[in-house]
Chain A
Amino acid sequence: MSQFDIEKLPKGSKGFMYDWGSDQRAFKGVPWGKAMMWIFLLSDTFIFSCFLISLMTARASTVVPWPYPSEVFGLTVFGTSVPLLLIAIMTFVLITSSGTMAIAVKYGYEKNRKLCGWFLLATAIGGLTFVGMQAFEWSKLIFHDGVRPWGNPFGAEQFGAFFFMVTGFHGTHVSIGVIFLFIFARKVFRGDFDTGRRGYFTSMKSDYEAIEILGLYWHFVDLVWVFIFAFFYLW
């Protein structure tokens, strides 16, 4: 492997030409795991885009009025109905967990084992809270309002199908993230990245850059929620 000093390489668009024109790897200074996670996230972006674009297509082409999410997802608190209350709380919870994740990545790179672990744990609990509130939202819509993928009492029939598909796919991502957050919190607390202990599945040594890769996934989940919040709930 050739050695290079990343600080001395050209930057910006010149650096782009230089990196891609070199007969070595194109992503200089990017560990392979991080590059692979980015490429996975890119493909995931396309999947979520397809969901949201088909939501747009269904909603723009239906001749039946689309249910108004502001009222469908409203909650009644102390006798007054507040629009989208649960969704707003879910948004803030997910953003908070994204913030703690960013801090966990920072402490990981500083090799601060304990703080990194605690912030990972806080992130996992934030994610778990989000999934819990989503379960509440789903059960309210299914059992109380009678929303089904093929129909609902509010308006256009496609509403239910898109609701379950889009939020379900996102919720699955959050759930998988929570599982990995717990696994990696345990690994960090045990000191796997300091002692070079080999992973259970990969039997490879790893270090704190694994936390950044996990962080990329978690921030992406938050990023997707930003778009779902805008296009499904607010539009």
Chain B
Amino acid sequence: MTSDKKQEVHTHKIGVYLWIWGLLFVFSFFSYMVDYINYQGLLRWSLIIFFMFVKAGLIMAIFMHLYWERWAIVNVLLWPMTAIGVFIAIMAAESYYTFFSRMFYFVVGS
């Protein structure tokens, strides 16, 4: 038990963290600019999603050290996210159906 605790210790140069910190600042600034410049529609949504995933990836990979972890734990953490993806797809379909029936009964049906 004690032997693998010692092996677990790995520290990185402080520059790695400062770099990621700076990158997170830059990407946050970009995603804020999306709103400031007031992009709308598909461009707005894709830029927001892109910057969001870049930031999330940097935080998880470097700050949370997932990049240096063994695949055994990385897979356990990332595969369940597909369930969330499926749930998003189901609820998106459901909400469009709700919107359709509301429009139908509120406007057409009355």
Contact = CB atoms under 8 A, between A and B. Distances in A.
Partners in one complex: yes
Interface of A: 1, 3-7, 9, 11-13, 15-16, 19-20, 26-31, 35, 38, 42, 45-46, 49, 53-54, 56-63, 70, 83-84, 88, 91-92, 95-96, 98-99, 101-103, 106, 109-110, 209, 212, 215-216, 219-220, 222-223, 226-227, 229-230, 233-235
30 contacts: A5-B7, A6-B70, A15-B71, A15-B72, A16-B70, A16-B72, A19-B70, A19-B71, A28-B4, A28-B72, A38-B73, A42-B76, A53-B84, A53-B87, A54-B91, A57-B95, A57-B98, A61-B96, A61-B99, A61-B102, A91-B32, A92-B25, A102-B20, A102-B21, A102-B62, A106-B12, A109-B9, A109-B10, A209-B5, A226-B59
B87 A30 contact: no
B69 A61 contact: no
B56 A226 contact: yes
A16 B71 contact: yes
Interface string B1-24: 101110111111010011011001
Nearest to B100: A61
B52 A227 contact: yes
A11 B70 contact: yes
Nearest to A234: B48
Given A53-B87, A53-B91, A98 B63 contact: yes
A209 B62 CA distance: 16
Given A95-B28, A96-B21, A7 B70 contact: no
Interface of B: 1, 3-5, 7-12, 14, 17-18, 20-21, 24-25, 28, 31-32, 34-36, 38, 44-45, 48-49, 51-52, 55-56, 59-60, 62-65, 69-73, 75-77, 80-81, 84, 87-88, 91-92, 94-96, 98-99, 102-103, 106
Given A38-B73, A63-B103, A103-B17, A109 B24 contact: no
Contacts, number: 172
Contact of A70 (B28, B38, B94, B103): B38
Given A1-B1, A57-B95, A91-B32, A27 B17 contact: no
A106 B72 contact: no
Contact of B63 (A3, A38, A42, A219): A219
Contacts of A223: 56, 59-60, 64
Contacts of A60: 92, 95-96, 99
Given A91-B32, A95-B25, A223-B60, A6 B7 contact: yes
A58 B99 CA distance: 9
B59 A222 contact: yes
